[in-house]
Structure 1
Amino acid sequence: MNFGERLRFLRNELDYSLRKMADELDISFSALGKYERNEHQPDFETLKKIADYFDVSIDWLLGRTQEGYDHAIRIIDNAVEKMDPNSEVELYIPPAILNEMILKNIDESHLSLIPVYGAANGMLNLSESNIIQYEFKHNQDMPEESFFYIISPDDSMKGSNIVKDSKVLCRSLDIVDKKNLEEGKIYLVSYQNSLYIRRVFVNNQDQITLQAENVHFPPILIHNMSDINIIGQVQSVEFNPNEQK
């Protein structure tokens, strides 16, 4: 990319109009337009102002270095090395993170490689063979072994915006005592060789209830904590097909 293309790329990252960007940089609207069309080059002070605003180097702005791209490639190569070489699982890099790699030289320690588990035959399955994708997550406090994504196999938790094919981020847990359960939170629970995404409640008779948020999925009553295994706790829902336009 030449200077004008890189400047336009940076502006689009902020979703700014040409006029808003001109106001932010205190540059005339017409001058900024000429910069983006490569009809005119800014002087050094203006270049410095633009570079400082976007936190990039002047050399990168002028297309004299591929440093950001090389940095991104190194991170991606390191991630691929961690994956099974015999697997056809894809690596997904959210565009915002890719841009941070290129533009900000984001440190690799701020990224975690998170597995995404698919639904096999309409059921949740956390076997390694059921990993359908790895994804970068931007969170330096997120150890990669402690978090994972699952693809919801049904609409049982649609009341919490978890519908079929939603991508759900979970934090790994190993809870064996119901005293450690957070009442009413959504957990990933293993029960009778099946996995469920459910709200978990403990009632007065020491029964454990796995509660769906869809009337077509009845509650599951469990009398003994040892009959279930709490695999993880739901943190967020990051994809909902019903919201796609």
Structure 2
Amino acid sequence: MASYTLYLDETGARHPDRASGLSARSDWFAMGGILIRQEDKEEAEQQRDALAEKWGVTSPFHMTDMINERSKFSWLGRRTQRERDEFWSEYREFLANVPAVGIGCVIDRAGYAARGYAEKHDDKWLLCRSAFDIVVERSAKYAVSQGRQLNIIFESDVAMNSVVESYFTNLKENGLEFDKNNSGKYQPLDVADFQSTLTSIENRPKENKLLQIADSYIYAIARRGYDKKFDVYRRLMDSKRIIDCLLEKDAVSALGVKYYCFDK
């Protein structure tokens, strides 16, 4: 059966009670990235390589380093403003033309704490468990709607690999564990749906070309929760690369990007 692959990355601090390094006004944890069909992977990789070759980029694209012009992207800060504008224009166009669908779950950490979730759950329930369950469940529902199964590739972190893989196993064996009174309106998948749709989960290093694209997508999706004018996100929306653009309006709440614990 044909499949989608969810390339999954994260941004922000996954522990509810640890400093994230972000400002109090934009303190998120997010998990997500891109859904891409098997037959479109080579094209996406070729687009990434063409841009990297043009700009002489030999390290993985990493959005926060690029924006802050640090680490392997400190060279960007030494270019003229015209060159920097050109780079970002081409990078936005690259992301907007990749044959992929952006998806994610963004948790406002202050909102999470204010609702008492940090005290309600034991310390094994990290923010990434909530985000993982939500984004994988929504990705699976979208895959089913397209007549496809879903496999997952996530960025390797030796300390967390087995934890993330256990979330996947738990979904297949037990389904979602959110409060049914609160989650019923989102029409969650049941255990049988997870078992028939989820196929495999694997970790890959950050050098993986499609994980680099996922990194940029989930950063843009997360930042949009605090900055609706963020240019990368708006360019993705213009090209209908965010899942919300592909759904009927009444399906967005159950299948689209989830902004969790945000004050309305």
TM-score (norm 2): 0.23
Larger strand proportion of the pair? 1
TM-score (norm 1): 0.24
Q: Which has the higher contact order (CA 8 A, sep 6+)?
A: 2
Larger helix proportion of the pair? 2
